[in-house]
């Protein structure tokens, strides 16, 4: 990543990579959904619905295609009639209201026939190299019923209810990258439209949203007949797609240190560039103020019943008031305006408010920061190969630089290692257990880099400084994954969490939110310490409304005139 004209350095990983801060991240210009919608407009993609074969019971299938400059992609959607007792968002569920595959091209009848026998089974089925993602969704029972019932009697749904829930269906997994037989990431990584992270998955969810809107209209018409109202596009716009995310996403950011580093570093570099501006034009200042006001409106719709998030929202609301008052008093055009704002936020706001500002100040500067989206993929496979020529001393330094805080902790103390991450034989669901209460320790996954770093460091202390790490690893193969991480850390400064992932107090939802914020998710609603619901694409234009005006800022609701 080239540094261009930044006097203000990127923030220190020590500050950024704490779980509480990562658990306070917000979407920004670099988010994957916004990258996608900008591209769809810039490249003039076209969308069609060649098949919509859903019966009166809501059972059948539909195909939605997206045609880009070089290639076409199709969402193949299957709608099912699900009984309430089968409706679960856990990995261990076995049936869903709707199931999907993103097909690479336009599926033939034979493809659809093949997919119809596999996609509804999800993990128990098999897809092929022609499929780029596999996903499923369940209805939000409360909102689905409300919308169908209202439309069927010729009325529009209540917008307040829509804002309260945010979506008609929520996905409970979107699998890509070769899972269950789908195409590997390598197949698509060199396509410009899918090079940035998770673009296939984001496209799949985007098309899913259109399908769900069409399906609810279809079901309302089936119920209401001729008196059925057409869903008002202004209201439909506020229907996003929910996502219910469990623990599987937390290991992802530990298992992909280079990729995660690239996301964080891109945002930190963007922030550093904006902070380095000595002045801002009246237009840029005005744009920021408008986005801030629109953001406040979106925040006002954010609800959660989880005590931790309730507290965070209270803090965020206090921060919003403080920011408003700051912006009323201070000029944003002179004297390093953005750096001043960020410095002030660090003294006056909580982490929710600080990270909101860190995202929002990027908004007026697309020309300055959007190019960083090209740095967010992980194309560096070679970094996984250990450099055995490095000396013991160099490795000790590398570990100390990242895990100095962890090296002298008592890792046998129960509070410091109370938890263990494991995979259940039950549909391979990722879980987090209590090491001292459940028989899970022998199944522990390597998801405690800080503890493992401390263990490796202790053994390294008994070795001579100038011995090669290759010799050490021959005698200590148990530290091999830790030595690899330490070397990766040398090229990925933001790749490592600076917190204990197995402590009694760890909040896995912080890891989930960090990842989901880069997708561009909003309205994080934790349901427990390890399970969160979010909203995607609420406010976004549907394919027929995609244009230069709607492509990017849809995440911020327009203020009513």
Partner 1 sequence: MNVSLNEVEATAKRATRGAGYSWGLAEEAAKATRWLCAHGQNGTGALAQLLQLDLASAPQTHAPSDLNGEWQSENQLCPLVTGALLSDFAQRLNSSPIEIRNIAVPALLLPFAANAARLLKTCVCVEYDHALAETDGYDLSLGTPFPDRAHQVSVHLGGQLTAPTPHQTRAEPDPTDWAVLNRFAHRTYAPATEESRLRGAGAGLSDND
Q: What is d(CA 159, CA 236) in angstroms, rounded to the nearest whole number? A: 9
- Smallest gap from Cβ 347 to partner 1, in A, equals 35
Q: Considering beta carbons, is residue 93 or 277 the nearer one to partner 1?
A: 93
Find the binder of partner 1 among 11, 77, 89, 264 (CB under 8 A).
89
Find the binder of partner 1 among 384, 397, 464, 547 (CB under 8 A).
384
User: Which residues 6+ apart lie within 8 Å of 539 measured at CB?
Assistant: 237, 238, 240, 298, 554, 555, 556, 557
Q: Segment contacting partner 1 (CB under 8 A): 275-283, 285-293, 335-343, 425-433?
A: 425-433
Report if residue 382 touches partner 1, rule: CB under 8 A.
Answer: yes
Report if residue 433 touches partner 1, rule: CB under 8 A.
Answer: yes
User: Which residues 6+ apart lie within 8 Å of 72 measured at CB?
Assistant: 65, 66, 105, 106
Report if residue 424 touches partner 1, rule: CB under 8 A.
Answer: yes
- Smallest gap from Cβ 291 to partner 1, in A, equals 32
Q: Segment contacting partner 1 (CB under 8 A): 155-163, 340-348, 350-358, 473-481?
A: 473-481
**Tokens at residue 46, please?**
């076209």
- Smallest gap from Cβ 200 to partner 1, in A, equals 14
SS3 479: helix
Report if residue 388 touches partner 1, rule: CB under 8 A.
Answer: yes
Burial of residue 368 (CB within 10 Å: 0-12, 13-18, 19+) is: middle
Find the binder of partner 1 among 2, 5, 84, 282 (CB under 8 A).
84
Report if residue 391 touches partner 1, rule: CB under 8 A.
Answer: no
Q: Considering beta carbons, is residue 170 or 267 the nearer one to partner 1?
A: 170
- Smallest gap from Cβ 182 to partner 1, in A, equals 6
**Tokens at residue 95, please?**
């049936």
Report if residue 185 touches partner 1, rule: CB under 8 A.
Answer: yes
- Smallest gap from Cβ 136 to partner 1, in A, equals 11
Instruction: Name which of residues 98 to 117 contact partner 1 (CB under 8 A).
Output: none
Q: What is d(CA 519, CA 197) in angstroms, rounded to the nearest whole number? A: 9
User: Which residues 6+ apart lie within 8 Å of 451 measured at CB?
Assistant: 406, 411, 416, 417, 500, 502
Q: Segment contacting partner 1 (CB under 8 A): 215-223, 356-364, 471-479, 493-501?
A: 471-479
Q: What's 285-307 look like in SS3? A: HHHHHHHHHHHHHHHHCCCCCCH
Instruction: Name which of residues 201 to 260 contact partner 1 (CB under 8 A).
Output: 244, 246-247
Radius of gyration of the chain (CA): 24
Q: What is d(CA 103, CA 415) in angstroms, rounded to the nearest whole number? A: 47
**Helix runs in 128-256, H state only:** 141-152, 159-165, 185-188, 192-195, 199-224, 233-236, 249-255
CA angle centred on 406, ends 400 and 408, rounded to 5°: 95
- Smallest gap from Cβ 442 to partner 1, in A, equals 8
Q: Segment contacting partner 1 (CB under 8 A): 184-192, 229-237, 330-338, 549-557?
A: 184-192
Q: Segment contacting partner 1 (CB under 8 A): 1-9, 125-133, 150-158, 268-276?
A: 125-133
Buried b (16+ CB within 10 A) or exposed e, 440-473: beeebeebbbbbbbbbbbeebeebeeeebbeebb
- Smallest gap from Cβ 105 to partner 1, in A, equals 16
- Smallest gap from Cβ 45 to partner 1, in A, equals 26
**Tokens at residue 262, please?**
């690239």
SS3 391: strand
Report if residue 138 touches partner 1, rule: CB under 8 A.
Answer: yes
Q: Segment contacting partner 1 (CB under 8 A): 31-39, 107-115, 179-187, 325-333?
A: 179-187
- Whether residue 134 contacts residue 180, with contact meaning beta carbons closer than 8 Å, is answered with yes
Q: Segment contacting partner 1 (CB under 8 A): 52-60, 81-89, 257-265, 495-503?
A: 81-89
Instruction: Name which of residues 483 to 502 contact partner 1 (CB under 8 A).
Output: 483-484
Report if residue 446 touches partner 1, rule: CB under 8 A.
Answer: yes
Q: C-alpha dihedral over 189, 193, 194, 195, to 10 degrees?
A: 50
Q: Segment contacting partner 1 (CB under 8 A): 22-30, 112-120, 385-393, 497-505?
A: 385-393
Report if residue 426 touches partner 1, rule: CB under 8 A.
Answer: yes
- What distances in angstroms separate CA 491 from CA 115, 259, 344, one per listed residue? 42, 11, 31
Find the binder of partner 1 among 56, 129, 331, 465 (CB under 8 A).
129
Q: Segment contacting partner 1 (CB under 8 A): 31-39, 194-202, 335-343, 474-482?
A: 474-482
- What distances in angstroms separate CA 314 from CA 299, 303, 305, one per listed residue? 11, 11, 12
Number of residues that bind partner 1 (CB under 8 A): 75
Q: Considering beta carbons, is residue 31 or 99 the nearer one to partner 1?
A: 99
Report if residue 163 touches partner 1, rule: CB under 8 A.
Answer: no
User: Which residues 6+ apart lie within 8 Å of 458 measured at CB?
Assistant: none
| Residue showing tokens 């996609």 | 119
Letters for 500-529 (x = contact with partner 1 by CB under 8 A, - = none) are --------x------------------xxx
Phi-psi map region of 335: left, alpha, beta (phi>0 left; psi -120 to 50 alpha):
left
Find the binder of partner 1 among 123, 178, 308, 400 (CB under 8 A).
178
SS3 28: coil
Find the binder of partner 1 among 159, 413, 470, 491 (CB under 8 A).
470
At what angle are helices 257-275 and 351-360 packed, to 10 degrees?
70
């Amino acid at each position: 990543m080239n540094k261009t004209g930044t006097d203000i350095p990127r923030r220190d990983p020590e500050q950024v990579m704490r779980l509480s801060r990562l658990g306070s991240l917000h979407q920004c210009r670099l988010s994957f959904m916004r990258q996608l919608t900008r591209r769809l407009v810039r490249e003039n993609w076209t969308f069609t619905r060649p098949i919509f074969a859903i019966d009166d019971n809501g059972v059948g299938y539909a195909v939605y295609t997206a045609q880009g400059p070089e290639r076409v992609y199709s969402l193949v959607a299957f709608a099912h009639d699900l009984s309430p007792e089968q409706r679960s968002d856990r990995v261990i569920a076995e049936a869903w209201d709707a199931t999907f595959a993103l097909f690479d091209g336009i599926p033939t009848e034979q493809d659809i026939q093949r997919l119809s026998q596999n996609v509804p089974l999800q993990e128990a089925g098999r897809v092929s190299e022609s499929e780029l993602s596999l996903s499923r969704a369940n209805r939000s029972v409360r909102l689905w019923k409300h919308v169908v019932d209202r439309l069927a009697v010729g009325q529009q749904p209540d917008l307040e209810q829509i804002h309260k829930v945010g979506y008609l269906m929520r996905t409970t997994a979107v699998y890509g990258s070769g899972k269950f037989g789908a195409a590997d990431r390598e197949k698509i990584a060199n396509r410009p439209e899918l090079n940035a992270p998770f673009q296939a998955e984001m496209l799949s969810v985007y098309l899913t949203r259109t399908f769900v809107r069409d399906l609810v209209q279809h079901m309302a018409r089936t119920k209401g007949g001729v008196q059925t109202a057409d869903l008002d596009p202004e209201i439909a716009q506020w229907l996003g797609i929910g996502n219910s995310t469990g623990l599987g996403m937390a290991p992802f950011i530990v298992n992909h240190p280079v990729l995660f580093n690239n996301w964080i570093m891109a945002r930190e570099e963007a922030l550093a560039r904006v902070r380095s501006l000595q002045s801002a034009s009246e237009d840029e200042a005005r744009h920021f103020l408008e986005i801030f006001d629109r953001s406040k409106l979106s925040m006002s719709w954010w609800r959660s019943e989880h005590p931790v998030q309730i507290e965070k929202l209270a803090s965020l609301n206090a921060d919003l008031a403080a920011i408003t008052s700051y912006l009323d008093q201070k000029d944003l055009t002179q004297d390093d305006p953005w750096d001043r704002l960020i410095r002030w936020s660090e003294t006056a706001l909580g982490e929710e408010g600080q990270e909101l500002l860190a995202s929002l100040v990027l908004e007026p500067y697309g020309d300055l920061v959007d190019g960083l989206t090209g740095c967010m993929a992980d194309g560096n496979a070679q970094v996984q190969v250990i450099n055995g020529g490095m000396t013991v001393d160099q490795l000790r330094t590398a570990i100390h630089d990242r895990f100095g805080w962890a090296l002298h902790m008592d890792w046998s103390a129960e509070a410091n290692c109370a938890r263990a991450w494991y995979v259940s034989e039950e549909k391979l669901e990722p879980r987090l257990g209590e090491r001292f209460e459940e028989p899970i320790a022998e199944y522990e996954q390597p998801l405690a880099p800080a503890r493992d770093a401390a263990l490796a460091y202790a053994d390294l202390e008994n070795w001579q400084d100038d011995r090669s790490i290759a010799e050490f690893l021959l005698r200590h193969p148990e530290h091999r994954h830790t030595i690899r991480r330490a070397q990766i850390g040398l090229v990925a400064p933001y790749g490592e969490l600076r917190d204990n992932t197995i402590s009694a107090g760890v909040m896995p939802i912080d890891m989930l939110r960090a990842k989901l914020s880069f997708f561009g998710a909003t309205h994080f609603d934790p349901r427990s310490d390890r399970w969160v619901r979010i909203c995607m694409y609420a406010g976004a234009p549907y394919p027929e409304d995609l244009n230069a005006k709607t492509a990017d800022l849809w995440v911020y609701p327009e203020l009513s005139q």
